[in-house]
Amino acid sequence: MSELKQNYYGSLCTEMYEILHEQAPQDELNFYLSYAEKGKKILEPLCGSGRFLVPFLKRGFDISGMDLSGEMLAKLKQKAPDAKAIQADIINYAVQEQFDYIFIPSGSVSLFTDMGMCQRILQKMKELLAPGGKFVFAVDTVFDRCEEDSDYKVNVSVKTKEGYDLVLKGKNHYDEKSQTQFSPSIYELYHGAELLQSETMDFQTHLYRYGEMDEYLRGCGFKSISVYSNYQKEPAVNDQCEMFIYECSQAL
């Protein structure tokens, strides 16, 4: 079994992700598309296999992407060989250009459970944002915590295109003090009863309380901050929603 990695999408994880989430949810995609303008530079950090990036490309937007997972980026390149996407750690992503619009969908900012690191990433996004640009992203909330599971159990089982069974086993523990959801996972690929491959993933997310992220954003220098509870842009007023969606503007 491979080494346990925090939030790294390996080959089996990527395979299951593609089967279950090949297309972006339409309401979420429309929400992020609504901020895009032709002729403006767009960046999607943590672009993964491109379920958002590819629809942006097909609509003629000038979009770039980056992700740490080579496995996920390989899937993206299969779909869009000409996509401008590089393999990089978000904190070390070094480009000279600035972007008019940066977005991180699907609650992916919650993957950064070290809050010091998270604040450095937010600062990095602000530095990459052009004057007048917008940074839009979502985080998971404490309302979205999973039920406690002390033992591994099968969460999902899918068929691969080769006809193999790909199984995800997981368990959950929520730490109140750090607001971290621990969801260690085991991916197993079977041909009948024969185990062909196994892969572990140390999946962790930070679940946010109302107002928590706002403080980090203000600390990074963002002045104009809006927070929504859904893709219809209803304002968030408490923790009783599954996500907070942030819209931050860079001063001109």
Q: How confident is the model at residue 189 (pLDDT cuts 50, 70, 90)?
A: very high
Q: Order of strands, edge to edge, in the sheet holding 165-175?
A: 149-159, 165-175, 180-191, 194-206
Q: What is the C-alpha separation between 52 and 44, in angstroms, rounded?
A: 8
The residue among 134, 144, 174 whose CA lies nearest residue 41 is 134
Strand, helix or coil at 246? strand
Q: Where are the domains of the chain?
A: 1-252
Q: How confident is the model at residue 5 (pLDDT cuts 50, 70, 90)?
A: low
Q: Order of strands, edge to edge, in the sheet holding 41-45?
A: 84-87, 62-67, 41-45, 99-104, 129-140, 243-249, 224-228
Average pLDDT for 190-198: 97
Q: What is the C-alpha separation between 95 and 90, in angstroms, rounded?
A: 11
pLDDT digits (tens, 9 = 90+) for 83-109: 999 999 898 888 889 999 999 999 999
Q: How confident is the model at residue 236 (pLDDT cuts 50, 70, 90)?
A: very high
pLDDT of 73 > 70? The answer is yes
CATH code for residues 1-252: 3.40.50.150
pLDDT of 77 > 60? The answer is yes
The residue among 235, 165, 226, 247 whose CA lies nearest residue 198 is 165
Length of the chain counted residue by residue: 252
Could you count the other beta carbons within 10 Å of the beta carbon of residue 93? 16
Enclosing H/E stretch for 17: helix 11-21
Q: What is the C-alpha separation between 48 and 56, in angstroms, rounded?
A: 14
pLDDT digits (tens, 9 = 90+) for 12-52: 999 999 999 989 999 999 999 999 999 999 999 999 999 99
Which pLDDT value is given to residue 92?
84
pLDDT of 252 > 80? The answer is no
Burial class (CB in 10 A: 0-12, 13-18, 19+), 142: middle
Q: How confident is the model at residue 60 (pLDDT cuts 50, 70, 90)?
A: very high
Burial class (CB in 10 A: 0-12, 13-18, 19+), 159: exposed
Q: How confident is the model at residue 10 (pLDDT cuts 50, 70, 90)?
A: confident
Average pLDDT for 138-160: 94
pLDDT of 233 > 90? The answer is yes
pTM over 0.85: yes
